[in-house]
Amino acid sequence: MNEFDPIGFEQLPASPRAVTQHEIDSRRIALARVLEFTRHTIDEVISDPMVRNEVLGFYRLYRFIERYCESYPQGAHNGNDRYGTGQS
């Protein structure tokens, strides 16, 4: 964690390109879904380090799964069925 982000969530890019409203909304939606899944409030995340770490872990997992699903379209893995056996 750096001094500018005490909670530990990733910062928006500091590059010269403009941050789109879609990027901001997607992060807000991801955090809201994780909070709903873990049944914690933002106040608990701020005040309790264990809750913060739990929510941060699920947030990172959510973002990883989102990136993975964007990279591999359905049916493009090791086979065409859902178990990857190659049998349709």
- Tens digit of pLDDT at every position of the chain (88 positions): 445 566 666 666 666 677 788 888 888 999 999 999 999 999 999 999 999 999 999 999 999 988 888 777 665 555 555 555 555 5
* Domain residue spans of the chain: 21-71
Say what the pTM is.
0.61
Return all residues near 77 (Cβ < 8 A) that are at least 6 apart. 84
